[in-house]
Every structure is written in C-alpha cells, then in structure tokens.
Chains A and B, each alone.
Chain A
Amino acid sequence: MSGGERALTVFYRALLRLHPAEQRHRYGAQMTEDFLRAWRRAHGVPARVTVLAGELAALAWTGVAERLRGAWAGGWHGAWKQLRPASPRAILRAVLRRPGHAATLVGTLALGLGAWMAALVVLDAMVLGSQGRAEQGALVEIWTYLDEEQNNRPDVAAAALPVLRQASDLFLAVEGASNRRVVITEPGLPEQVQITRVTPGFFDLLGVRPARGPGFAGPEPDPGGVVISHRLWIQRFGRAPDVLGRTLVLGEARHTVVGVMPPGFAVPGFDEVAGAGLWAPVPLVEAGATVNVLARLRAGVSVDAAAEALDARTPELRAAGAFAEGTRPDLNEPVLFGVPEWAVTTTWILVAAATLILLVAATSTWALVVTRSLDRHQEWAVRRSLGAPRLRVMAESAAEGLFLGAAAGAAGAVVAAGLLRLLVLHAPAGARLATVGRTLALQGAEAVGAVLLGAGIVGVAAAAAAWAGSRGQPRFPGAVRGSTEGRGTRRLRAGLVAIQVALSFLLLAGGGLLANSLGRLARVETGYDAEALLVATLQPPGGSYGTTAEREALYDRVEDRLRNDPAVAGVAATENALPLTSGAFRPTLLLDDGGTLEMDDFLPYLEVTPGFFQVAGVRILEGRAFYQGDPVPHPAVVGEQMARRLWPDGRVLGRRFRVREAEPFRTVVGVAHDVVNINLRDPAGEGMEFFVPLDPVGQRQRTFVVRARGPAAGVALPVRRIMQEVDPELPFARFHTLADSFGDSVARERFATSLVSVLAAMGLLVTTLGLYGLLAHQVGSRTREIGIRMSLGAHSGHLVRGIVGSGLAITGVGVALGVLAAVQFFGILEVLLYGVEPGDPATLAAAAALFLAVAVAACLPPAVRAASVDPAAAMRSE
C-alpha cells in the first residue's frame, strides 16, 4: 500500500466512525478494502476525484442516516420512548442527589448570565439604542448663528418652530424645550426644582414614554398637565399608585400630574443639574421666548446635507419671521444629547468584562458537568448493559442539564435585574441621561432569553458528557482498572481551567489598572481645604426679594447668622458655586503692554468677597487679597499658571489685563495658589483662573462658602436651619460639600472601577472554585494510585509538591495567556485611565502574583488530602 493509499485508508476509517458500531465491526474491514479497490480501478484524475468524492459522501451520509434510523427504529413511538423526558420528579430527584453540585452550578452560571444580560441591556440602552434611532435619521439641534460674533446661541426664537416644521422634506419631527426653575409648594415642603417645558411630541422624538400615565401624548393633552420624575413621585407622593390626576402646586399655579417618568430618566442637557425633573407642555409661540430645538432628520438625509439645505433657505426663514436679519439657522449634531464618549467606552468595557465573566462561568459550568458525569459512568454503563439505549441515557442527562440550566437562567435574570437596579442608583448622571432610548430594566423577553441560554449551555454540556460517558462497559468489583478519568478528559478540564484563569486575569488586571488610576486622581491637589468646605447656593423668590437691596439685606442676615454659629469657622460669599465652572468663553486676553492671548478653552473666573481666600484655604503666594474699599480700581487675584503665562518675566503685581474690549482693565494685586476647576481630571482653562471682587448688582443668587470647624458635612444642618429661621418661605438652598463635588467629578472613574472590580472578584471566585474542584477530583479519583505509590515509599512531601505543581502549571499557562491578551487589548481602557499606562507592568505583575497565590491556596487542601492517604485503606477502597 502506498503512502497515499495509507492516508486515504486512515481518512476512510475516520469517517467510518459515523456508522453504528455494529456496522463497523461486521463490515468495516471489507468496506475499506473494497474502497481501495474502487480507488485503484479508477484511472486519471477526474475519475479518481469522482470515486473519492462519491465514496466519502456516501460514507458520511449513510452513517448519519443509519444513526437516525437507529434512533427512529420504533417510529414515533419508539423515538418518544427513547427521548421522552423523565417525569419532572425524576429529574428533580436526579439533580438533588448532589445538592452541592447543583447549587454551585446554578450559582456560577447565574452570576455569569446575570452580569452578561445586564451588560447587554446597558449596551442596548446606551449604544445600540442610539444607533437604532439613527437609522430613522439622525438627531440634530438647531441653533441660531450670529454672523458677527462667534457667540452662537444654542436656541432659536419660539416663532421659528412652526416655520422649521414646514421643512418636512428634511425633518421627520421638530420639537422644542426650554427650562427654568420653579418652586413646588404642594404637596410637601417648598423646594426649588427645574422644570423643562417641552412641546407635546418631545418625548416621542427621543423615543421615551412615561412609565405611568399618558404624558402629553393622549388625544386631548391636558394643558395644565405635568409629568413628574420618578424621584418626585417617591418623595412627594410616596409612590402612590393613584398619582395620576393628583394636584401639584408650582408657585401659585395648580397642575395635574399626567405621567411619571421611569427611574433615572433625564432630558439630556436640561435635567442633569436639577436632578429632580418636571416636564410640562410649553405653549408653542410665546412672544420673545426662545426654545432649544431638537429635530429628527428623515432617513437618508445626512447631517451635512440638511445643514446645507437649511442654510440655503435662510432668506425664506427670515421672511417667515423665524430668524432675525443677520442671523441664520445653524444645524448641529447634538452636543448635549449624544452619549458621552467615556460612557460608550465604559459600556463596551462593561460588556467585555461581563462576556469574560460569562465565559468563565460557562467553562466552569462545563467542567462541573464533566466532573459530575465522571461519577456516573458506572451508573450509565450498568443501565446500558441492562438494555437502555445510549440515546435514552443521553436524553435523560440532557433533561437534567436543561432543568439545571433553566434554573440558572432564571436566577441569572434575577441577578441581572438586581445589577441594573444598582446601576440606575449608582451610575453617574452623565451616564443616566444618555439612556434616553430605553430604561435600564430587564424586559420579559430578555429574561426568557436568559433562561433559554442557561438551559442551552448546561443541556448541551450534559448531553455531550453523557454521550461520551456512556460508551464504556460496566466495571465489576475486582476488575483491573485505571483512574476513572481518562487522559483526554483531564486535559480538557485542565484546559478549561487555564482559560478561566486567563479570562479572570484580564478582569483582575483591568480592575487593578482602574483602581490604580482612581487612587492617583484621589491624590490630586485641589488647592482648597476641600474637606472643610460646604458650598450653599441660595436663590430667593422674586416676589419678596425683587430688588438688589432686598436681596443684599437677606444675604447679610444669612451671612451674619452663619458667622455666629459655633460649628462655623468662617463664611465667604461668591456669585457662583465652587469648583469654578463659569468664566469667559474662548476669550482674547488683552494686556496693558498691548500683548494679546487668544484662548481656545474657556477661562474660569469667580467673583468673591475678600474673606474668600482665607475661608476656602486658597493660599496667596505673592501680593495680597483685595479688600473692602480697595484703593486699586478693579483689583484681581490671578492663579500662578495665569501669572506665568501672561507675564513670563515674573513681574506680575501691578500689571493689568482685560478679558474683552468692553471691560475695564483689571489690576493684579496678588497671585494665588492654583485651584482645580470643573473636575479633577480635565481642569479647564489650561490650568488658569482668576478672582475679582463680588459685584452684587443684578445677581439673582448667592453662594456661601462655609468653612466648618470639623468635617464639612457637620454644618449642613445648621446652614439649612439658619436659612429657614431667616425666612421660612425661602426654598431649600442647594448645597454640597466641596470634597463631594470633587468626588463626583471622578464619579465615572469610580463607577467603572467598581463595575470591573465587582466582576473581577466574581471571576476570581469562580476560577478558584474551578481550580480547586479540578485538583480535588483528581486527588479523589487517584486515591488508589496514590496509596500504591506511598506504599512503595513515595514521600508525602513529594506528592504535595506534585499536586501543587500541576495546579501552578495550569495557572501559569492561564496567566501567560492573560498577560498576552492584556497587552493586546487594554488600549481601550486608556480613556478611563489617569497617570497609568494600559500595560502597566507593576499592575500586571501584581495581578499575576495574586493569581498564583490564590492558585496555591486552592491546591493545598487537595494536596494535603493526598498526602494523608492511608495506603492500606486506599488499596481497599475499591
């Protein structure tokens, strides 16, 4: 036989395995021989190809057909007899014979499925949902472009809305919204909240719907109707199920509740700040009013094409009164409504991490099923020798697997619902507001999907294990035998554990990087005594405090009372809250020597009372703070960075600058230590900022910076009490501690870190259990072998080393794979990292070390058990 023929023979025999054993035994040799004859008889390449293809196809097809025919031997009835599920009670009994095993399996898979389902819901809400909406045309904003300045207005005249709607060749829908603050006077205590007034189709445009009630969509929308947020429903109405139709008094006006939005819902760009939203229909045309316009483009109309088309229609739009002379429409992709990039990245990281967890859980589940099947080989073999068809054995095992898997899926749905609830409560506002497409809750169909997926995973594993495991003959006492577990199975299980290690390592290393980065952010120097500062903003109602004098009198009384409170160490006032979030947008700084500095960024500045620097702990490094009746006109204190940028020669005091042509020159009287503006991660203004004296004229609100004698939270109650005592009619002041607001500014980092850390802990746990289970089972099934080796003089220390060594080898392979994958894929974490490289060797090494340590811990109990085997008892154990 030539080499080629030998290869053909091997191939033919391999395919022959598709045939039932009986066929192979009786005719296999003859078939192979005749096949070779037919092959030899064919001459020429085409004939040989025909023979080969025909032979192999026939071999495969008849093999499969025979197997099916075997299963179908008794027709419908026979097939039913083989495949019919055992009674639910029998399945349950079989499953509960090993309650620990069943619980571990259900728990493991439920964690994996739950995490994964939750991640998919988030993905759908944040990423896929928005893409889905894009298919029906993009969401755009329409601004007013002012030709002269670059100060485009983010809104348009209310009168433009009906005109824009006529451009129905471009837009599917055009809706408007505007917001302002109102005071809820009933029910409950007065509280100032933000109300967003929207056109009736606004929610439809965003693709959202109230969780309760018709909202503004009904056939006859109630003009006095308001839709309330989930939070207001809880706080003001105690979750009353009959909230629809109840009365809400805003100021003096009575409104009817016509809807409750789902938890966590906020209209992007409008409701984030207020936190507690209220939505009311806005009268379309209000003289002089402006609205923010959102439009949905028709499918197939690109943003650029729409912008161009709209621009070309400027004359018509002006003629219709939509835009004033000299202005024109400016169509933009939404700035505020888009899902922020970091939220998209966090979502993908979440999905990746959850997929890893599911894979870890699924491989672990598979390993558990294989382990369990090893214990049942004898049972299956006995049953088969008593006449049960192999298919029947497999069907029974599959039924148990389906049952366990479905239970795991159901538990997973509960886990997913819980995780989503936690997400809604803890996700940073920027992430919540992006989820306008759908609410973060598991839907019924998704829960069913989880059950089916779980049933599928375990059912297939159990069927495969039973099919493979019911091949053998029953063993009889005294028969010669090796270990229960074949080498192939052992390798499979070791491979599964190594994969688990690699996947969990990725999670652990990712969590480590994020935690490392968060730690660095927490150590950023803010420039304030942030821990001691409470920032409270008071916005008095217009009625009793209509004039500047009335308001100043109120502020003085409040400040006086605050200063005399024993818990308060000092009080200063500012026109806006800390940290600095307001200032000049892309200013051109003009210097007294004729120099200019054009800034792309915005330059934060704040009006403060003279005591501010001392109260807030902002150190003056050079010169002095300004004071009451300062002889220098328009004094200013600049930050170090600004001083360096504007006057590199170092002579700063007495120099003058102004932010715009129209403003007076300000004279520098001092240089202050720099402070962090906006947030810890991306301080605005290229690190520059300055402070000027507070000018009370025309300001409708006042912020008090209160320095506490102890922790800042300690003055929260006194501040609230004092404001209520000064005037009981005052709405609640908004206040926060400065430390909290810096903490909030890294909320997204903290959120991503805690997400990944939780998943990493889950992965580590599941992997450790998997490793332990593998080794424990190996030791258990090798008891006899170990006994023999010990009776032949093997040292127990040697045995322990051997078992721990094999555990470490598996872990080592897994960690190596994990490191490779980390180096390859961790680039996606970059957006969330601060001061740490994605491939940070120290973090990867620490994760690897932790894994190896855990591996040793998981190996030790089985190893110790092996070492304490009594040789005599082990020999008798059969």
Chain B
Amino acid sequence: MSGSPLSEPVFLILLMLAEGPRHGYAILQDVERWTEGRVVLRTATLYTALRRLVDDGRVAEIPDPDGDPRRRTYRITAAGRALVREETARLREVVGLADRLATGGRGG
C-alpha cells in the first residue's frame, strides 16, 4: 500500500485512529465532524477499509475497554503511524508545489 497515495477515506480513518482508539461507529461520526460534513463515510466503505488495514497490519483490533465482547475497538499500529507520516509528507509536498506554482510563478 505504501508508495501509492492513500484514498481519502482510508487516510481519514487512519487520522482518526492516530488520535486514539475508537469503535467503528465513532470513526464514522468523527470523520463527519472533523470534515464538517464534507466527508460522510458509509458503513460498507468503513468496514471494507478497516478489514484491509487490519490485514495489512496498519490497524489492530483490541478488546472493548468497556468490556463489551461484541464490540470491537481499533487502534493504529506503528506501521499505521508510519503510513500516516508518509502520506502527510507526500501531501505537504503536493501542497507546497501547488502554493509555489499558484502564487510565486515558475520556479518560485
């Protein structure tokens, strides 16, 4: 997965988890709140992405802190944090490039 840009839902899910472990539903709500309603994740999108992130070792499932055995909580792994850093750096580079080209003209 590394090397190619992350899709927006995947990046947002990782960002939410980077802030702290959450239930699936909490991720949905946080994404909507943090993006001010611009991005509304659907359950199918969320859990498909989560399954792949778990399988890739970017996200781990942990027992529910409240002790509810049916509910699963997700936390980001070290590999997941590395991916967030990598993607953030990539985005920063893209944004910098855009700033230079859009405001400072060619070559900055």
Residues of A within 8 A of B (CB): 19, 22-23, 26-27, 29-31, 33-35, 37-38, 54-55, 57-59, 61-63, 66
Chain B residues closer than 8 Å to A19, beta-carbon distance: 44, 48
Given A26-B51, A34-B47: 6 more A-B contacts, CB < 8 Å: A27-B47, A30-B24, A31-B47, A55-B44, A58-B42, A66-B48
Chain A residues closer than 8 Å to B72, beta-carbon distance: 30
Closest CB in chain B relative to A33 CB, distance in Å: 8
Residue of A nearest to B29 (CB): A41
Chain B residues closer than 8 Å to A33, beta-carbon distance: 25
Q: Say yes or no: is B97 at the interface (Cβ < 8 Å to chain A).
A: no
A34 touches B28 (CB 8 A): yes
Among candidates B28, B47, B70, residue contacting A38 with C-beta atoms closer than 8 Å:
B28
Question: What separation, in Å, do the CA atoms of A57 and B45 have in the docked complex?
Answer: 10
Given contacts A30-B24, A34-B24, A37-B25, contact A23 B42 (CB under 8 A): no
Closest CB in chain A relative to B45 CB, distance in Å: 5
Do most interface residues of chain A lie in helix, strand or loop, or is the interface mixed? helix
Q: Say yes or no: is B14 at the interface (Cβ < 8 Å to chain A).
A: no
Residues of B within 8 A of A (CB): 24-25, 28, 40, 42-48, 50-51, 70-72
Chain B residues closer than 8 Å to A63, beta-carbon distance: 44
Closest CB in chain B relative to A135 CB, distance in Å: 51
Closest CB in chain A relative to B62 CB, distance in Å: 15
Residue of A nearest to B49 (CB): A62
B24 touches A62 (CB 8 A): no
B47 touches A55 (CB 8 A): no
B42 touches A30 (CB 8 A): no
Question: What separation, in Å, do the CA atoms of A26 and B59 have in the docked complex?
Answer: 15
**Among A22, A34, A63, which residue has the most Cβ atoms of chain B within 10 A?**
A34
Question: What separation, in Å, do the CA atoms of A728 and B102 have in the docked complex?
Answer: 108
Question: What separation, in Å, do the CA atoms of A30 and B54 have in the docked complex?
Answer: 15
A54 touches B48 (CB 8 A): no
Chain B residues closer than 8 Å to A55, beta-carbon distance: 42-44
Chain A residues closer than 8 Å to B24, beta-carbon distance: 30, 34
Question: What separation, in Å, do the CA atoms of A33 and B43 have in the docked complex?
Answer: 9
B48 touches A35 (CB 8 A): no
Chain A residues closer than 8 Å to B70, beta-carbon distance: 29
Closest CB in chain B relative to A841 CB, distance in Å: 59
Chain B residues closer than 8 Å to A62, beta-carbon distance: 44-45, 48
Question: What separation, in Å, do the CA atoms of A610 and B99 have in the docked complex?
Answer: 118
Question: What separation, in Å, do the CA atoms of A61 and B48 have in the docked complex?
Answer: 11
Chain A residues closer than 8 Å to B40, beta-carbon distance: 54
Question: What separation, in Å, do the CA atoms of A781 and B78 have in the docked complex?
Answer: 57
Question: What separation, in Å, do the CA atoms of A30 and B71 have in the docked complex?
Answer: 8
Residue of B nearest to A55 (CB): B42
B48 touches A34 (CB 8 A): no
Chain B residues closer than 8 Å to A54, beta-carbon distance: 40, 42
A58 touches B45 (CB 8 A): yes
B51 touches A27 (CB 8 A): yes
Given contacts A55-B42, A58-B44, contact A34 B25 (CB under 8 A): yes
Residue of B nearest to A61 (CB): B44
Question: What separation, in Å, do the CA atoms of A38 and B51 have in the docked complex?
Answer: 20
Question: What separation, in Å, do the CA atoms of A846 and B103 have in the docked complex?
Answer: 91
Chain B residues closer than 8 Å to A58, beta-carbon distance: 42-45
Chain B residues closer than 8 Å to A22, beta-carbon distance: 51
Question: What separation, in Å, do the CA atoms of A823 and B43 have in the docked complex?
Answer: 54
25 A–B contact pairs at CB < 8 A? Answer: A23-B47, A23-B48, A23-B51, A27-B47, A27-B50, A27-B51, A30-B71, A30-B72, A31-B43, A34-B24, A34-B43, A35-B43, A37-B25, A38-B28, A38-B42, A38-B43, A54-B42, A55-B42, A55-B44, A58-B43, A58-B44, A58-B45, A61-B44, A62-B48, A63-B44
9 closest Cβ contacts across the A-B interface? A58-B42, A59-B44, A27-B47, A58-B44, A62-B48, A62-B44, A34-B43, A34-B25, A31-B43
Chain A residues closer than 8 Å to B48, beta-carbon distance: 19, 23, 62, 66
Chain B residues closer than 8 Å to A38, beta-carbon distance: 25, 28, 42-43
Question: What separation, in Å, do the CA atoms of A34 and B41 have in the docked complex?
Answer: 11
Question: What separation, in Å, do the CA atoms of A54 and B28 have in the docked complex?
Answer: 13
Residue of B nearest to A41 (CB): B29
Residue of A nearest to B71 (CB): A30
Question: What separation, in Å, do the CA atoms of A27 and B61 have in the docked complex?
Answer: 12
Chain B residues closer than 8 Å to A27, beta-carbon distance: 47, 50-51
Question: What separation, in Å, do the CA atoms of A54 and B43 have in the docked complex?
Answer: 10
B28 touches A31 (CB 8 A): no
Closest CB in chain A relative to B4 CB, distance in Å: 13
Chain A residues closer than 8 Å to B46, beta-carbon distance: 34
Chain B residues closer than 8 Å to A59, beta-carbon distance: 42-44
Question: What separation, in Å, do the CA atoms of A62 and B24 have in the docked complex?
Answer: 17
Question: What separation, in Å, do the CA atoms of A337 and B71 have in the docked complex?
Answer: 82
Closest CB in chain A relative to B13 CB, distance in Å: 14
Closest CB in chain B relative to A30 CB, distance in Å: 6
Chain A residues closer than 8 Å to B45, beta-carbon distance: 58, 62
Question: What separation, in Å, do the CA atoms of A29 and B25 have in the docked complex?
Answer: 13
Closest CB in chain B relative to A12 CB, distance in Å: 9
Chain A residues closer than 8 Å to B50, beta-carbon distance: 27
**Among B47, B50, B72, which residue has the most Cβ atoms of chain A within 10 A?**
B47
Chain B residues closer than 8 Å to A66, beta-carbon distance: 48
Closest CB in chain A relative to B104 CB, distance in Å: 40
Closest CB in chain B relative to A797 CB, distance in Å: 57
Residue of B nearest to A22 (CB): B51
**Among B44, B50, B72, which residue has the most Cβ atoms of chain A within 10 A?**
B44
Residue of A nearest to B61 (CB): A26
Question: What separation, in Å, do the CA atoms of A37 and B40 have in the docked complex?
Answer: 14
